[in-house]
Amino acid sequence: MSAIRIRRTIDSDTLHLPELVSLIGRTVDIVIEDGSAADGPPSRITPGTGDWDHALAAIQKLHDYDYDAQGDQDACDVRDVQERLS
């Protein structure tokens, strides 16, 4: 399935989206996400764009990132599986 991203300000409950003409008659999934995330400022990184400069800048701002967390979680998952199997 290919994705089409349309960024619009909703100003009516009736939408006119000419970008979707090629999909008329097909079964599609429509997902609408509010661009103003309540959990912080909007990201300047758009997935799939390969905007590596912004990604690197965001990574460099991580001062308190727990680099061992994934390994600790993996070990916990292994222990949990072993306990469930015994």
DSSP state of 42: P
Residue labelled with tokens 């009516």: 12
Q: Could you tell me the two tokens for 84?
A: 């469930």
* Of residues 37 and 4, more confidently modeled: 4
Banded model confidence at residue 84, pLDDT cuts 50, 70, 90: very high
pLDDT of residue 44: 66
45-60 pLDDT, tens digit each? 666 777 788 878 888 8
45: burial class by Cβ within 10 Å (0-12, 13-18, 19+)? middle
Residue with tokens 């600790």: 72
Does residue 64 carry a pLDDT above 70?
Answer: yes
Percent of the chain's residues with pLDDT above 90: 19
- Greater pLDDT, 35 or 77: 77
Which DSSP symbol is given to 29?
-
Mean local confidence (pLDDT), 62-79: 89
Between the CA atoms of 31, 32, 34 and 39, what dihedral angle is there, to the nearest 10 degrees? -10
